[in-house]
Every structure is written in structure tokens, then in C-alpha cells.
Amino acid sequence: MKKAECTTILVGKNATIDGSAMIARSEDGGREIIPEGFELITPEKQPKHYESVISHQKIDDADLAEKPLRYTSAPDVSGESGIWGAAGINSENVAMTATETITTNARIQGIDPLLVHGGLGEEDFVTLTLPYIHSALDGVKRIGYLLEKYGTYEMNGMAFADHDEVWYLETIGGHHWIARRIPDDAYVVAPNRLNIDEFHFGKDGFLTDDALEDLIKEYHLNPDREGYNMRHIFGSSTIKDAHYNNPRAWFVHNYFDPEFGGKPSDQDQPFICHANRKISIEDICFVESSHYQDTPFDPYGDQGTPEQKKTFRPIALNRNFETHILQVRNDVPEEIAGVQWLCFGPNTFNSFVPFYTNVNDTPASFQTGPKFDLNKIFWLNKLTAQLGDTNFKVYGELENDFEQKSLAQCHFIQHETDKKVAGLSGKEAEDLLTEANQKMADQVYDNTIELLGNMVNEGHNLATLKFDLLD
């Protein structure tokens, strides 16, 4: 089971509307439906001994702390190919998302090949990292240590956030890595390519393994006359990038700043960018749900030709299985600082829910099972999406009303809960936040059932198999 279709968005604390750090990613897959769940991993549930399912890589017990932190996780519920924890926030309000599958080139693969036997991959990183770190920078260093010691069999990007910092890390070959701190006033959009461009060895805000700079010089890997651009050195610039990756970044850039301009296929779109306004949760919800609206490339639009509508891969598509926005808030007490906005299924037809992470359980409707079950929001969202996709002009407005209603209701519950938890701590706070999460989950589930009913009513007369003497 491979997930290689994600879109990551990172926002520094001074670039957001409320001063929180945000890291987001849509977790996409292939033709097979991959049910995703939402779980709370307490210290007693964390593995004491670890072996990867895919690579059979064993982790030394010394690399698993005796006292791991509690954390949230969005795993694949089948477990057949490992845990694939995807994203979460730990009890010290450190957030992690992993991974964004990225590109590489033959030059580095000929020097430090991806592992054929052993090594770590996407199935492992959250489980082996999030319960052991106390800051975003800790996350970078922990991953760097694991990559250098155990290696990897795939190219991946991952991100970390705490109250003050957002970091993005990319793997290079089988054992090397680079990481860059996102400036507080900036945002990043990272599709399925190697994304870090400008890089300064030894400068604050830039980290890598100790051997990488010498490796670049020894093997003459730098094509630029001056400086280091890691995308030029280790990444790709292919026809696939021009149609599959770059257009997603282009759309987000132009949404955050209409003067960005450029062309969808541009290969050198910058990694670090600045919006023309402060970015909100709703902004990220929109771009993670986007499909080139108001352009000729929108599969649902009426501007382009049939060929244009199939030219570029959109962010939202049928293979979105789970999407999250990990928010570390700075204007509230520690007990409520961590919020995992979460939705399941294709992003154009669902709604994010802002779950507190300082809890003692997750809502039952988000604890997905592997079999089709309309009591679980994952499967309910898959159903509404597949029905909605048959006629977006008819069903799209119904979905938009549903999403606006759901977000507003969740915001209201969150505001009320923030007030109620003031002065509480420990189990008392956890119980209140767990109750609030359940209330939001129930509200969105009920809204989704209502949406499905409205779609059935609206679509009743659209059936092809019908006959009326008045027709």
C-alpha cells in the first residue's frame, strides 16, 4: 500500500489570522480505498518493541523512550501494511505530519540509493517520532537520527510545529536529509516533488546531516554557478512535475496572492512565499478542497475544453482519504492549544472538524472500521462524494451550504468550550474537551446525513431510468 499523492501546506505563526502555527496535509492514495481512523495513543499503547511491517526493519529498544508521550494519530485502520500514523499532536503540543511523497533524481540515487532491504518509511515515522519529541526542532533531529542510522526506502517530506516554529524536512537518497525552518511570516505549499530550494549550510534555520555538503562537492552535484538550490541538486524537473505537481502549488500561490501570476507548469515556483493577507483555517480548508475553480482547468467548471479539464491534477480528488490541519494556538491556555482539524474522504465533499487533542478518547464515528459502515463518517463521506461527483452543478451548492453550516457550528462549540475550560486542568479538562469533541463529531455526522438526504431529494428527477407520459 503506497500513498503518493499528498499536498502539504505550512504557515508560520505571524502569517496566520490568530497567531497560531499551522501544518496541513491531504493524505491521498491510489485506486484502492484506504479507510482512515482517528485514535488517541496513550503511553501504554505505544510499542515497546518495534518492527516495520513493509521493510521488517527492527528498531533498537534503546531508540524507544521508556516514557513516551500521549499523542493523536490518524492511522490506516486495516493495519495490514503497518500503522501509517499520518498526523497528530502530542501532550506537549508538538505537531507532526508525515509524509509527503517527493521526487529525486538519478544523480543522488547513484550515490546513496534508496534501500532495497530494511529501512524506514511512511508507515513508521509518526509512531517512531511524535511520542518522543518536545519541540518542532526535536522532531527534525529525531528524524535525522533515524534516517542516518536506519535509512529509508522512499523519498519523503514531513513537517513539525510547536508554539514558535514550523520546520519542514525532506529525505535525500537512502540516508541523507535536509530541513528548513519556515519564517514566521511565510507560508509553504509542497506537492509531490522535492520542494526546498534555497539552502545555506551552517546558517540558523537550515539543518542537514553532516556529510551532505561534502557529498555535493565530491560528486559535482550542483548545477548552479552560485549558492545551493536543493530542488536543482536533488529534485526533478519533469513533464510529470509540470502537470502533476507544479499546478497545485501555482493555484495555492495565486489564491493567497492574486498578483503571484506565473503559469501552472512553472518548475521554479518558490518554496518560501508570503500571502497578501493573514491566513485563516478557512483558507486552508478551501485550498485543500480546491480543483482549479474559476480557471479553464476545473473538472467541474464550464470555462475550459474537455482536454483542458484533464490537463492538471487538482488538490482535491477522489483519492483524498484523510486531510488534517494541525494547529498550535498561542492565545489560549496549554490545555487547549493543540487542535487537530480533521476530515475524511474527498475534500470537495466533506467538512473539517476541530478536535482538541488534550483528551482521553476520540469520537466513535471517527474510529473507522475497514468495512463499509454508514455509522462511520469516513464511509458516509465516501458515499456523499461519489453521489456528488455525478453532477457537481446540482450537488455542489448543497455541499457548500453543508460545509459552511458545519464549520460555523464547530466554531461555536469550540468558542464555548474554550470559555468553559478556563481554570481547569488534568482529567477535568480532558473530560470536558473529550465531550466537546464528541459534540462536534455528532453535529457534523448529523449534518452529513442531512446533506445525503438533500442530495437524494435533489437528484430524484435526474435519473436516466425514468418514464413519464408527459415527457
Would you state the torsion angle of the CA atoms of residues 245, 250, 253, 255, taken in this order, to the nearest 10 degrees?
-110
Would you state the torsion angle of the CA atoms of residues 313, 316, 322, 328, taken in this order, to the nearest 10 degrees?
110
Say which amino acid occupies 242: A
Would you state the torsion angle of the CA atoms of residues 275, 281, 283, 287, taken in this order, to the nearest 10 degrees?
110
Rg (CA), the chain: 22
What DSSP assignment string belongs to 365-417? GGS--SS--TTSHHHHHHHHHHHHTT-HHHHHHHHHHHHHHHHHHHHHHHHHH
Rounded distance, CA 4 to CA 346, Å?
A: 15
The CA-based angle 44-25-307, given to 5 degrees, is: 145
Catalytic: 6? yes
10 Å Cβ neighbour count for 116?
9
**Which cell numbers hold the place of 8?**
502539504
- CA 290 to chain CA centroid, Å, is 14
Taking each helix axis as running N to C, give the angle between helix 392-420 and helix 426-459, from 0 to 180 degrees, rounded to the nearest 10: 160
Report helix, strand or coil for 97: strand
Rounded distance, CA 45 to CA 118, Å?
A: 24
Check if the beta carbon of residue 143 is closer than 8 Å to that of residue 132. Answer: no
CA-wise closest residue to 136 among 22, 9, 40: 22
> Which own/partner pairs from 274-277 qualify as long-range (CB within 8 Å, at least 24 positions apart)?
274/15, 274/185, 274/186, 274/187, 275/15, 275/187
Kindly state the helix (H) or strand (E) to which residue 9 belongs, with its residue range.
strand 7-11
Rounded distance, CA 344 to CA 84, Å?
A: 15
Rounded distance, CA 312 to CA 128, Å?
A: 35
CA-wise closest residue to 86 among 104, 72, 67: 72
Q: Which of 6, 285, 343, 410 is catalytic?
A: 6
Q: Kindly list the catalytic residues.
A: 6
